[in-house]
């Protein structure tokens, strides 16, 4: 039986020195001691990865990079960090294709697909980020855009790969705006993502799909209660360790409702 265990990830973006990151981990770990049934991760900047991974070592806190190179494991690619190097730093996974990478650094679907491949080959869990812009949503193209982004990833995957990846739906208009998607929008998109995945890889694929975009301790349970939402990718509200711990606790308030709504989905596979 494949379980879609909940996953909450804090994406720190370009925040926190090594010293600040270590202070954060020291404050967060005791807060996670009682936590059961939920995977927790943070995604620090590259320079803090190995220190944070060492500090989290053996604790229920995973460490993800925010990106990996499309090339690797080594080569003449100034400024890039390969998936193998991220793995060696002690990470369990990496964010791939975040909308800020797509927007500001020109990452195309092809680049995102190549990075996903590299992460998988290095033994990292990729969290591949998808999402439409406001203009795309307003023109009625949101489902189509996200499906295109999803299929671009899926095309390069085997059935086995498809079981080792997480998708994050992050509508661009909801990121850092304080304007989260409504639960209806999130549920409809997550259902669509799951349907495409199941059509491609079978109902047992048990894909985890996270929601991201202005998630807070106040609204997280509205999302985690939804039948097709398996957790959250959190930016601003993950930057304080106590605030993030509170958000994690609140996320579990949504979990029983989710199970009651769709008991059979958990047994898929
Ligand atoms: P915010 O939670 O700050 O809106 O950021 C979301 C995000 O981009 C997480 O990857």
Contact 155, 128 (CB under 8 A): no
For ligand 1, say whether the CB of 231 is within 6 Å of any of its atoms.
no
Which one is catalytic: 84, 132, 170, 190?
170
Hey, what are 98's tokens?
């975040």
Ramachandran sector of residue 13 (left: φ over 0; alpha: ψ -120 to 50; beta: rest): left
pLDDT at 25 over 80: yes
Residue in 98, 132, 136, 190 annotated catalytic: 98
Q: Quick one: pLDDT band at residue 203, thresholds 50, 70, 90?
A: confident
Name residue 200's beta-bridge partners.
none
- Average pLDDT score, the chain: 93
Q: What is the mean pLDDT of residues 258-269?
A: 48
Whole-number Cα distances in Å, 53 to 32, 37, 74, 190, 264: 16, 21, 22, 30, 36
Domain ranges of the chain: 7-260
Q: With beta carbons less than 8 A apart as the criterion, state whether 38 and 248 touch.
A: yes
Does position 269 have pLDDT exceeding 70, yes or no?
no
Q: Is 170 an annotated catalytic residue? A: yes
In the prediction, which pLDDT does 206 show?
87
Closest-CA residue, ligand 1 atom 7, reads 235
Task: Read off the pLDDT of each residue in 242-264 and give the average, rounded to a whole number.
Answer: 78
The predicted model gives 192-208 an average pLDDT of: 92
Report residue 71: phi and psi, to 5°: -115, 170
Q: How high is the pLDDT of residue 266?
A: 41
- pTM beyond cutoff 0.85: yes
Q: Which atom of ligand 1 is nearest to the CA of 174?
A: 4
Please check whether residue 90 is in contact with residue 67, taking contact to mean a CB–CB distance below 8 angstroms.
Answer: no
Query: In CATH, what is the architecture of 7-260?
Result: Alpha-Beta Barrel (3.20)
Q: Determine whether the shortest distance from the Cβ of 219 to ligand 1 is under 6 A.
A: no
Q: Can you give the pLDDT at residue 4? A: 86
- CB 230, CB 255: distance < 8 Å: no
Q: Is the pLDDT of residue 84 over 70?
A: yes
Minimum-distance ligand 1 atom for the alpha carbon of 215: 2
Please give the Cα distance from 65 to 241 (Å, whole number): 18
């Amino acid at each position: 039986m494949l379980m879609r265990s909940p996953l909450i990830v804090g994406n720190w973006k370009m925040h926190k020195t090594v010293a600040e990151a270590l202070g954060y981990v020291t404050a967060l770990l005791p807060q996670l001691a009682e936590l059961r049934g939920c995977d927790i991760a943070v995604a620090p900047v590259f320079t803090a990865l190995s220190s944070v991974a060492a500090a989290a070592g053996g604790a229920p806190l995973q460490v993800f990079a925010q990106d990996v190179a499309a090339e690797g494991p080594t080569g003449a690619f100034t400024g890039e960090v390969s998936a193998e190097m991220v793995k060696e730093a002690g990470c369990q996974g990496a964010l791939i294709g975040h909308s800020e990478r797509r927007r500001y650094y020109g990452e195309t679907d092809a680049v995102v697909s190549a990075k996903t491949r590299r992460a998988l080959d290095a033994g990292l869990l990729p969290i591949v980020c998808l999402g439409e812009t406001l203009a795309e949503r307003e023109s009625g193209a949101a489902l189509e855009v996200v499906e295109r982004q999803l299929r671009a990833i899926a095309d390069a995957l085997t059935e086995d790969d498809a079981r080792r990846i997480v998708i994050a739906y992050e509508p661009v208009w909801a990121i850092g705006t304080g304007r989260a998607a409504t639960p209806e929008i999130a549920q409809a998109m997550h259902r669509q993502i799951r349907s495409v995945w199941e059509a491609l890889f079978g109902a047992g694929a048990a894909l985890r799909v996270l929601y991201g975009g202005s998630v807070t301790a106040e609204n997280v349970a509205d999302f985690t209660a939804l039948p097709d939402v398996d957790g959250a990718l959190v930016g601003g509200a993950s930057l304080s360790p106590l605030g993030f711990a509170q958000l994690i606790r609140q996320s579990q308030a949504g979990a029983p409702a989710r199970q009651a709504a769709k008991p059979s989905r958990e047994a898929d596979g």
